[in-house]
Structure 1
Amino acid sequence: MLALELAKRFRKTRSEQRFISFISMSSTIGIGLGCFVLIVLLSVMNGFEKELTSRILSVVPHGEIYSKSESGIENLDAQLYRFSQDSRIASVTAYTRLTGMLQSKGELKAISVTGIPVTQVADKYAERVANEDWERFSAQENGLIVGKGIMSSMGLAIGDTVQVLIPQTTQDLTFKAPRSITLTIAGMLSVGGELDNQLGLMHLATASDSIGITSKAQGIQFTLNDPFSAYDIMRDIGYSYPQAVYMSDWTRTQGHLYNDIQLVRAVVYIALILVISVACFNIVSSLVMAVRDKQAAIAILKTMGASDRLIRRTFVLQGAINGLIGIVVGVTLALLVAPNLSDIVRFIESALGVEILSGDIYFIDFLPSSLHWQDVVITVVVAMFLSIGATLYPAQKAAKVLPSSALH
């Protein structure tokens, strides 16, 4: 292909063209760096989203309804069976939640304790609670499993006796002395982040009896096949429920994590596409100077019968080669780094003695990475589109060179 051969010949640098070559090289480096960073950061965002789904959403219910009445959910067994037949719902379970203060050795800490039927949801917490803790918890009706952060901050140990203080109100909305429930620490729950400082688990029957629930449970928790459709599904369930209930879903309680990930993803896309765009402007600059430098050669080609289309295609290919080299190098490096980013960061942490993510603050203590091929394809397509787009003006300028003026 003649245009390609001419583009390769025009890319060769003479000693007086070092400055043009430098601008061309900087554009290639900029495009490669932009592609590399974009793919790696998108992989990190994908990793955080994956960890959010596998960790937080494996423990936090995707949705729940709870009775407005103090007696709890009516016809509980029938409702559980009805929801178990819904194709949108993976599983349902009854629960009763107590919110109050955990008291031990003169210390108080806010806690949200969920009463659960152990036989139904043991698998849900299987990876977050040790097997021996489950066995101990199952055997004790007054057993309590608390988050790792609570165990650490209050200095609790297996077998310790604690009190859960539950606030009480009267009809005139004045407070009475809190109701106290005595429980025994049976195990530790490890989810990560804030939840380790808030959550507790106890037996459903004990929780319901302690606050006067007469219908076995205060509410129903839902695990959905598609957790990201929780908002619509829970409203559909709540509005059609035969009893007055409150409804909630994970986007209200933990949705800020997912929204933060999506916001950062959007910012990364915009910022790094702009970086690639700036690099492509260097292609414009280098090609404009190349056209000016090659005017005599262009004029000779035209006198030999070269068409404007051939000249235009030559300079488009010349700029596209610069962009393609940057894209190939950047994407190749990203494909090598992104899948191994977690190990690389761990090595840096151990070498420098620093901790990038603290498990006490975030829901994970490592930097996750999950490479999605659609991100790679989108990055390549956008970078190539910008690279080729940057060549159109210089190519058109080259095609307009007049032999009579250039060879004067």
Structure 2
Amino acid sequence: MSIFQKLPYEWQVGLRYTRAGKRSGRNSFISFISLISVAGIGLGVAALIVVLSVMNGFQKEVTDRLMSVLAHVEVFDTRGAMPDWREQAQAALRNPQVRAAAPFVETQGMLLRDEAMRPVIVRGVLPQEEGKVSSVAAQVKRGSFAALTPGSYNIVLGVELARALGAELGQNVTLMLEREPFSRAGVLPRMRAFTVAGIFDAGHNELDSGLAFVHIGDAEAMQHLAGPSGLRLRLVDMNRAPQVVRELKASMPGELWMRDWSKVSASWYALVQSQKNMMFIILSMIIAVAAFNLVSTLVMTVTDKQADIAILRTLGASPASIMKIFMIQGAVVGLLGAAFGIAAGALLAFNVGVIVPFIERLFGMHFLSKEVYKISAVPSDLHWLDVGVIGLVAFALALLATLYPSWWAARVKPAEALRYE
């Protein structure tokens, strides 16, 4: 006896209806509509998987570029300066998740050159320590990050910031910081000339157009600080940053406050997540349309099988069993469509780097301009959790579409169905 024959009769009949349809024109048409439903669900699932994978790829690409310059965790002293930063760094490094620590001073100001003026975030760093927590030294395209020495008043600019100021290597720019109010005259600026010693390209417009690096000693001197503002930490796993912040608050001495990278970039990540959610909803509508094609398929099947339904009812089948038969048929179609879509979507997502260049060569077009987007290839990052959710949604919509036809089949009256047979 085969496994098929060991199944309950509802499963046997439901599966037989799903794969039947070769003996008559009407049944063949119903079978064709079922295949269209499977294909529609599969295409919708595949499209959603590919789109979310590409969005995840762009998010990962931007995150990697942000994290090449930003710290995973920033630790500040409430007194305004952290003269004992080495002891605090050792305390932070006792946490197994903290890979490296480096001091920094950060302030906001204006950079001027000739008639150009641009707002800037100035970060004072120790070049030999900064390399442990960021990749900015490797991103310097012209000049040298090591040229940031104490008392030299050298500065490293982002590529877009340098372009906006018209500044080249060896030229001077003026940094203007706000001075504390000291008289009725109000607030007067502090100004200092800096020499451009390097230009970096992080590949992120916000960083490249609004960030500059100087030596930490020069930054402390301009702000009259007794030490760095705080520490920048690099973690083993950046996704555990909020948990690490809670642990460090409990283990590190002094009056400190901390923030992790997700707080610094909270608005950007909220925007990306809202876009992903909207895309998921919109493309789920495509899956829903394909899934609800099952309604017409099952209605046609119920109409065609009314005599079979009547015979089953006279043999003792309950309305619930009849309903179960057609729900099984629709569920199998939904399951096949979801499986086909997952396989096709995963295959496409893993091969976006091959497929997109082929399409570009075929049609003589280019989707991403490196001058605009800083990347020339469409990235893809497949998350299996997304795949699982999409598959479950597709199956649930298909199952939902079976309810009305199955309920209608359960209401078929045997006497009326067999009257003209």
Q: 1:180 maps to which residue?
A: 192
Change in Cα spacing, 1:12 to 1:321, as seen in structure 2 (3 Å) is farther
Q: 1:54 maps to which residue?
A: 64
Q: 1:7 maps to which residue?
A: 17
Change in Cα spacing, 1:368 to 1:266, as seen in structure 2 (3 Å) is same
Tell me how many residue pairs correspond in the alignment: 404
For 1:146-185, what aligned pairs fall within 5 Å after superposition? 146-171=157-182, 174-185=186-197
Does 2:203 align with 1:194?
no
Does 2:294 align with 1:283?
yes
Does the 8 Å contact 2:76/2:230 carry over to 1? yes
Does the 8 Å contact 2:154/2:194 carry over to 1? no
Q: 2:121 maps to which residue?
A: 112
CA deviation string 1:3-59 (max 9, x = no partner): 266314644485457875675455334312221122112212322342244221232
2:202 maps to a residue whose letter is S
SS class of match (2:299): helix
Does the 8 Å contact 2:98/2:236 carry over to 1? yes
Q: 1:214 maps to which residue?
A: 226
Does the 8 Å contact 2:168/2:196 carry over to 1? no
Change in Cα spacing, 1:311 to 1:153, as seen in structure 2 (3 Å) is same
2:162 maps to a residue whose letter is M
For 1:19-34, what aligned pairs fall within 5 Å after superposition? 24-34=34-44
SS class of match (1:332): helix
CA deviation string 1:218-251 (max 9, x = no partner): 2222233443454565477569876556644433
Equivalent-residue separation in structure 2 for 1:346 and 1:127 (angstroms): 29
CA deviation string 1:89-123 (max 9, x = no partner): 33221111232122224322111121111111225
Q: 2:395 maps to which residue?
A: 384
Q: Structure 1: which 5+ runs fail to align?
A: none
Equivalent-residue separation in structure 1 for 2:255 and 2:182 (angstroms): 20
Equivalent-residue separation in structure 2 for 1:323 and 1:135 (angstroms): 61
Does 2:338 align with 1:327?
yes
Change in Cα spacing, 1:348 to 1:136, as seen in structure 2 (3 Å) is farther
Q: 2:415 maps to which residue?
A: 404
SS class of match (1:152): helix
CA deviation string 1:325-373 (max 9, x = no partner): 422332232122212324544565675545557765x686654211122
Change in Cα spacing, 1:206 to 1:91, as seen in structure 2 (3 Å) is same
RMSD: 3.5
In structure 2, which of residues 40, 47, 52 is the aligned counterpart of residue 37 of structure 1?
Answer: 47
SS class of match (1:159): coil
Deviation, 1:291, is: 0.6
Equivalent-residue separation in structure 2 for 1:87 and 1:268 (angstroms): 38
Q: Bigger CA drift: 61-70 or 348-357?
A: 348-357
Q: 2:386 maps to which residue?
A: 375
Change in Cα spacing, 1:288 to 1:365, as seen in structure 2 (3 Å) is same
Q: 2:86 maps to which residue?
A: 77
Q: 2:8 maps to which residue?
A: none
Change in Cα spacing, 1:251 to 1:357, as seen in structure 2 (3 Å) is farther
SS class of match (1:175): coil
1:42 maps to a residue whose letter is L
Does the 8 Å contact 2:15/2:329 carry over to 1? no
Q: Bigger CA drift: 43-52 or 15-24?
A: 15-24
Equivalent-residue separation in structure 2 for 1:342 and 1:256 (angstroms): 29
Change in Cα spacing, 1:85 to 1:239, as seen in structure 2 (3 Å) is closer
Change in Cα spacing, 1:268 to 1:106, as seen in structure 2 (3 Å) is closer
Equivalent-residue separation in structure 1 for 2:170 and 2:357 (angstroms): 36
CA deviation string 1:272-322 (max 9, x = no partner): 33432333222123212321122124335666x584577555433432343
Give me the TM-score of the superposition, normalised by structure 1.
0.83
Does the 8 Å contact 1:181/1:210 carry over to 2? no
Does 2:275 align with 1:269?
no
Q: 2:7 maps to which residue?
A: none
CA deviation string 1:354-393 (max 9, x = no partner): 5557765x68665421112232233223322332343344
Does the 8 Å contact 2:21/2:29 carry over to 1? no
Does the 8 Å contact 2:95/2:248 carry over to 1? no
Change in Cα spacing, 1:133 to 1:347, as seen in structure 2 (3 Å) is farther
Query: How many percent of aligned residue pairs carry the same amino acid?
Result: 31
Equivalent-residue separation in structure 2 for 1:211 and 1:139 (angstroms): 15
Give me the TM-score of the superposition, normalised by structure 2.
0.81
Q: Structure 2: which 5+ runs fail to align?
A: 5-11
